[in-house]
Amino acid sequence: MPTCKLTQTNIDRAQPADGKQKLDLFDTELPGLLLKVLSSGYKAYYTRSRSSDGKMHELKLADARLVSLHQARKLARERLCQKDQDKKQQRAPTLEEFAQEQYLPYVRSYKNSVETDKILLRKHLLPRFGAKRMDQINRLAIQRYVQELTETYRPSSVNRVLILLRFIYNLALRWEVPGLTANPTHGIDQLKEHNKRERFLSAEELQRLFTALDTPNNRYLKAIVTMLALTGA
């Protein structure tokens, strides 16, 4: 990939090497501008840039016989600048950018649990996904993280993290955030929560309960509670 500072002199002299069909000269003064020279002698300016899919694309800019180098640089600069602007407009924000700049300012106005959200973001979601663009976070990555969390936290705590992430993506889609087309948490079920705690009364506690029930106000109450206690209800 020959690179040089293009000048009118080396443009006029440029020719493909023997046996080659073409020569590409990349301008060092304006990255993204190149001169293509064919073995037939035809020369043209092109712009070269990377698209949102990560691939390099070349577009013809002008016939080198019709525009000067100065004009070619000006045209290329305008095109490349426009492409950069288009890229920024279409680029999905990182999770941290969206959380700090859009989500938190929004929920502060109405959500009582905003402090809990901030803790969940700071402790769980941002360390894991904060630097990633929202369109790069996929369902598999989230599912794996949920599995990791279950090794340390209760199902109810893990579910809070998942619910928050789902809510953030739903808001982003509702607000038509650029570059975002789907919620990657869809299809990931919440964990079953087994947080109920059972405790049976001790003999001393039962005795105190029966003593408290020895009241004339309700003669059926002691019988009812006794039956419930004996059946474990």
Q: Is residue 188 part of a domain?
A: no
HSE-up of residue 74 (Cα within 13 Å, Cβ side): 5
The answer to whether 27 touches 6, Cβ cutoff 8 Å, is yes
pTM for the whole thing? 0.50
Is 184 domain-assigned?
Answer: no
Each residue's pLDDT, cut to its tens digit, for the chain (233 residues) gives: 688 889 999 999 999 988 899 999 999 999 999 999 999 999 999 999 877 656 788 999 999 999 999 999 999 999 888 877 666 656 789 999 999 999 999 998 777 888 999 999 999 999 999 999 999 999 999 999 999 999 999 999 999 999 999 999 999 999 988 888 899 999 999 998 865 566 677 778 878 887 887 766 767 777 787 777 777 66
CA distance 211 to 219: 13
Boundaries of domain holding 203: 198-233
46 and 30 within one domain: yes
216 and 160 share one domain: no
Tell me which residue has tokens 């279409």.
90
Q: Which of 162, 124, 130, 160 is nearest to 143 (CA)?
A: 162
Tell me, yes or no, whether 75 and 114 share the same domain. Answer: no
Q: What is the CATH number of the domain that holds 154?
A: 1.10.150
